[in-house]
Structure 1
Amino acid sequence: MAGHHRWDALSAPELDALVDDRTVAVLPVAAVEQHGGHLPLATDVIIGEGLLAAALARSVGRAGTVLILPTLAIGSSLEHTAFSGTLSLAPETAIAVIESIGTSVARAGIRRLLIFNSHGGNKAVIDIAALKLRAAQRMLVVKANYFRFAPPADALPARELAHGLHGGALETSLMLHFAPDQVRVDRLEDAQSLGATRADVGATLGPEGDAGFAWMAQDLHASGVTGNARLASAEQGARLSAHFAARLATLIDEASTFELDALND
């Protein structure tokens, strides 16, 4: 049966009746961590759930049933632990939690899992957990990080896209769209990242790129924010949301139609 359903709103027999060989489970993974003085600790949760809701509104599930798992709100946020309010699982714990959830999904007879991530620090642990699930459960595991989706053309200046990694114009715009009452607009700042200042003098080694160095948030800027939040707007947030949601909707539907026989055991 096509369509989408909340996993935790179903009874056990109802879930059993919905599962078939095209069913996709979607696991939203986020973080509760500092985002400077202008954004709440739940920023990544709000953005992730907002983008997923926007994707589901696009009739996701045409090919098969989509089951939305409860959001894993606390992720791996080691890089933000110097700041108050950050909640973080140890990387090893985060890997084990994601793997355990995926194993439970497989036990329900589902071999298609899409992990939708809204926090950069989760990417490495998701990569490892996904591979472990592929090896142990013979699952298709899709790793979808919205911040790695190509943005709309001319959405933001190239410099901001490259260096506004945390609490900058992109995240602030999305928050002005999804939860404007939670943005402290009187505290917006232009926090120039160490990566941006190094690029300005011609350095090629920075925190991101083809050969980045490990960093803590305070290494990039003392405030824990990187990017120019003053460039943000609700209008830009709506445009970014629509664009990212369309990409996510396509990925969910493609996960449902992916031929599992292409995965060789």
Structure 2
Amino acid sequence: MNDAQRVLHWQDLTGPELAARVEAHTVAVLPLAAIEQHGAHLPLSTDLDIGLGLLAAATAELENHGLDSPGTVVVLPPLALGASLEHTAFCGTLSLMPEAAIGVIEALGEAVSRAGIRRLVLFNSHGGNKAVIDLAALKLRAAHGMLVVKANYFRFAPPAEALPAAELRHGLHGGALETAMMLHLAPGKVRREALTNAVSEAQRQADAGARLGPEGDAGYAWMAQDLHPSGVTGDATLADAATGSRLVAHFAARLAEVIEAAAEFDLSTLR
């Protein structure tokens, strides 16, 4: 272990090494993803690939900040499987039941607390995980007095004019945003011959002036096939590697800011 390193990986340390590096501003980061269908053009690992790619870029930026910034950052092994009930009609999806997902996050958070770390960032790259993360984070806060930050990259504001507004609104799964980042992070995994424009039922409803849709301030529960028979929504043909590079850099910079803010947060406000 290099004592000059700011970013460490939990599984690479011995127990005594981890204990020696934990201090008041240490932040643990738990990557949360999914293994699930993303249509014919993207692999089942898409959410995991994107999440780990964004985290690698963010931690490289944090490492560049050096130990002048407060807080060692300890990255936990990723929780690759998520709550993907909405995608279970499609071959290849691996899904935890929501109760199981909450329990796993709670158990890992409890282990972080036992190690003496009171700052935890749950970094999520799968939309279906959001509800279970909300509940698990609150339970960890109540049980262990921890700061638990819920960082969903898809809730970060995108860079200006990176993609059309309608695509950002309706291209929820396997559309231009995810495909562009995969073209940058893992181009060999993208089946370019299968890129297509899968117009979401949500977009059709919005264009028709419907008062109720699957997303928005009063959305209804949906399965992926409700939005498009392929399980994909969005125009993947708009994606290119240059846009993906811009998106990754932008989201990673925001994630680095979130981790820095977690390290600096005044824990005395948690009563």
TM-score of the alignment, normalized to the shorter chain, above 0.5 = yes
Aligned-partner Cα distance in 1 for 2:60–2:267: 26
- Could you tell me which residue of structure 2 aligns to residue 56 of structure 1? 59
1:159-183 per-residue CA deviation (whole Å, 9 max, x = no partner) reads 0000000000000000000000000
Moved over 2 A (4+): 59-62
Tell me the secondary structure at the aligned position of residue 61 of structure 2: coil
Tell me the secondary structure at the aligned position of residue 256 of structure 1: helix
Alignment of 1:1-265 (within 5 A): 3-60=6-63, 62-264=69-271
What is the identity, as a one-letter code, of the residue corresponding to 1:222? Answer: P
Shift of 1:59: 2.4
Residue ranges of structure 1 left out of the alignment (5+ in a row): none
Aligned-partner Cα distance in 1 for 2:220–2:70: 42
TM-score norm. by structure 2 comes to: 0.96
1:46-98 per-residue CA deviation (whole Å, 9 max, x = no partner) reads 00000000001112562210000000000000000000000000000000000
Which range moves more in the overlay, 197-206 or 56-65?
A: 56-65
Give RMSD over aligned pairs: 0.9
Aligned-partner Cα distance in 1 for 2:22–2:101: 27
Shift of 1:204: 3.0
Shift of 1:206: 1.0
Shift of 1:158: 0.6
Residue ranges of structure 2 left out of the alignment (5+ in a row): none
Aligned-partner Cα distance in 2 for 1:153–1:86: 33
What is the identity, as a one-letter code, of the residue corresponding to 1:250? Answer: E
The alignment of Structure 1 onto Structure 2 pairs a total of residues equal to 264
Shift of 1:213: 0.5
TM-score norm. by structure 1 comes to: 0.98
Tell me the secondary structure at the aligned position of residue 105 of structure 1: helix
Aligned-partner Cα distance in 2 for 1:69–1:215: 31
Tell me the secondary structure at the aligned position of residue 143 of structure 1: strand
Tell me the secondary structure at the aligned position of residue 27 of structure 1: strand
Aligned-partner Cα distance in 2 for 1:56–1:100: 24
Aligned-partner Cα distance in 2 for 1:221–1:59: 39
